[in-house]
Amino acid sequence: MVDKISIEKKMLFAPGPVLTSERVKKAALQPDICHRSPMFEQIYSGLKSRILKLFNADSNTHHSIVVSGSGTAANETVISSVFNDEEEILIISNGEFGNRLIEIADAYKVGSRVVEFDWGEYPDINKVEDFLKRYSRIKLVSMVYHETSTGMINPVEEVGRLAKKYGKLYHVDAISAVGGENVDVTGQQIDFCTGVPNKSVAGHPGASFVCVNLEAYKQVKNIRGRNVYLNLQKHVEISMNKNQTPNTPAVVMFLTLYEALDELFEEGLNNRIERYKRDADIIRDAVKKRSLKLLIDNDEWMSTTVTSVFLPENIDVYSFVNEMYRRGYVIYLGKGPLLKKNMFQIANMGNIHPEDCYRFVEVFNDVLDSYR
Ligand SMILES: Cc1ncc(COP(=O)(O)O)c(C=O)c1O
């Protein structure tokens, strides 16, 4: 048993949780407040307008809510709340988090159709359209924006166009995209878009959010939902009427998210994205110099924040990741079928700057050299 917590600082080059600034950390050190108070309502109102801005949404057409719980909570809030019996979800999956959407739909007994692709395979829009033509019970199309398990950016805008062509609602899991990619619920026609603080927004884990299109909301407003806590309608109604949350929220997480968003907008969303691109370029150049293979070889499909790399067969990926950890850097083992192929992931989300990436590359090269 430990008497006192003492955490050794590691550089988190993993896709969340991420490094946060002192400023964001300090935002947690506020006097304790009651969530049923005008102060909380003021904070929540400010937070919601910042989230709308993050998604390029207007308060006349969209509403945002914050859900206490990690990203999965935001996805469950949408998927558990918008279906009547007999209505179906169409899920496009090409990795771990697409599969997670299937798992959620199954858990809530929502009938699902799945357009499945290999991990790291770019979704073929024609296959998606075939499903939309064939299955009239589909109500909502659901896809991950940035499939974190591979680092691929999916065709969000094209699928949005298709969903609307067939009169369907559209949910996008932008959990690892928002703050790091140009997520635009208006231009990309996304009705329900989910995100978290603890990835590209550079905040803390424990809260998540949903940006809701109000026209789409009208279509689901009277549905009872299949979950008590993660109920979209309860969240939206009390948020609209009272600037509150249905249950006790993770107040401290709301405070640090607020600060993380202010920090992001002071940097500028475009500048943040440009910084992530510079970070990723430094990492990717180093990987290529070592002649290591990348999972995604098309620059247009690669996210600004996750690089998936195969190690040569003679290096054990577990020992490599452990050695990086020992040297102060947290990187991720590949997931699912990609781990068996000796893949690992380097992420540059959060409070990571080019100088951190150059230092990372030095250690990365050193550790690789130690296997010679
Ligand atoms: C795209 C995506 N969706 C969903 C999740 C699940 O989020 P959480 O672990 O915060 O519940 C993650 C987590 O990394 C993710 O990257």
CB of 71 sitting under 6 A from ligand 1: yes
CA 95 to centroid of ligand 1, rounded, Å: 12
pLDDT band at 302 (very low <50, low <70, confident <90, very high): very high
* All CATH 3.90.1150.10 domain ranges in the chain, comma separated: 11-16+269-369
CA 297 to centroid of ligand 1, rounded, Å: 23
CA 109 to centroid of ligand 1, rounded, Å: 21
Q: What is the rounded CA–CA span in Å between residue 81 and residue 223?
A: 7
Please state the φ and ψ torsions of residue 245, each to the nearest 5 degrees: -115, 155
The confidence score (pLDDT) of residue 297 equals: 84
Q: What is the rounded CA–CA span in Å between residue 278 and residue 280?
A: 5
CB of 148 sitting under 6 A from ligand 1: yes
* One-letter amino acid for residue 60 of the chain: N
CB of 70 sitting under 6 A from ligand 1: yes
The confidence score (pLDDT) of residue 63 equals: 98
Nearest CA to ligand 1 atom 8: 71
Residue 249 in tokens: 């929220």
CB of 342 sitting under 6 A from ligand 1: no
Point out the ligand 1 atom lying closest to the alpha carbon of residue 196: 10
Res 2 pLDDT > 90: no
Res 1 pLDDT > 90: no
3-state secondary structure the chain: CCCCCCCCCCEECCCCCCECCHHHHHCCCCCCCCCCCHHHHHHHHHHHHHHHHHCCCCCCCEEEEEEECCHHHHHHHHHCCCCCCCCEEEEEECCHHHHHHHHHHHHCCCEEEEEECCCCCCCCHHHHHHHHHHCCCEEEEEEECEECCCCEECCHHHHHHHHHHCCCEEEEECCCCECCECCCCCCCCCCEEEECCCCCCCCCCCEEEEEEEHHHHHHHCCCCCCCCCCCHHHHHHHHHHHCCCCCCCCHHHHHHHHHHHHHHHHHCHHHHHHHHHHHHHHHHHHHHHCCCEECCCCHHHECCCEEEEECCCCCCHHHHHHHHHHCCEECEECCHHHHCCCEEEEECCECCCHHHHHHHHHHHHHHHHCCC
The confidence score (pLDDT) of residue 288 equals: 97
What percent of the chain has a predicted confidence (pLDDT) above 70? 100
The confidence score (pLDDT) of residue 358 equals: 98
Res 173 pLDDT > 90: yes
Task: Please give the average per-residue pLDDT across 288-312, as a whole number.
Answer: 96
CA 134 to centroid of ligand 1, rounded, Å: 30
CA 162 to centroid of ligand 1, rounded, Å: 25
What percent of the chain has a predicted confidence (pLDDT) above 90? 98
Beta strands 88-93 and 138-144, pairing class: parallel
Q: What tens digit of pLDDT does each residue of 77-130 get? A: 999 999 999 999 999 999 999 999 999 999 999 999 999 999 999 999 999 999
CB of 72 sitting under 6 A from ligand 1: yes
The confidence score (pLDDT) of residue 167 equals: 98
* All CATH 3.40.640.10 domain ranges in the chain, comma separated: 22-265
Q: What tens digit of pLDDT does each residue of 133-170 get? A: 999 999 999 999 999 999 999 999 999 999 999 999 99
CB of 16 sitting under 6 A from ligand 1: yes
CB of 150 sitting under 6 A from ligand 1: no
CA 175 to centroid of ligand 1, rounded, Å: 6
Q: At the topology level of CATH, where does 22-265 sit?
A: Aspartate Aminotransferase; domain 2 (3.40.640)
Point out the ligand 1 atom lying closest to the alpha carbon of residue 73: 11
Candidates 175, 192, 194, 230: which one to mutate for ligand 1, based on the most atoms within 8 Å of Cβ?
175
Contact call for residues 169 and 82 (beta carbons, < 8 A): yes
CB of 96 sitting under 6 A from ligand 1: no
pLDDT band at 305 (very low <50, low <70, confident <90, very high): very high
Q: Please give the CATH number for the structural domain made up of 11-16+269-369.
A: 3.90.1150.10
Q: What tens digit of pLDDT does each residue of 224-272 get? A: 999 999 999 999 999 999 999 999 999 999 999 999 999 999 999 999 9
The confidence score (pLDDT) of residue 355 equals: 98
Question: What is the C-alpha end-to-end distance of the chain, expressed in Å?
Answer: 40
Contact call for residues 55 and 178 (beta carbons, < 8 A): yes
Mean pLDDT, rounded, of the chain: 97
CB of 258 sitting under 6 A from ligand 1: no
Res 372 pLDDT > 90: no
Candidates 100, 145, 303: which one to mutate for ligand 1, based on the most atoms within 8 Å of Cβ?
100
The confidence score (pLDDT) of residue 226 equals: 96
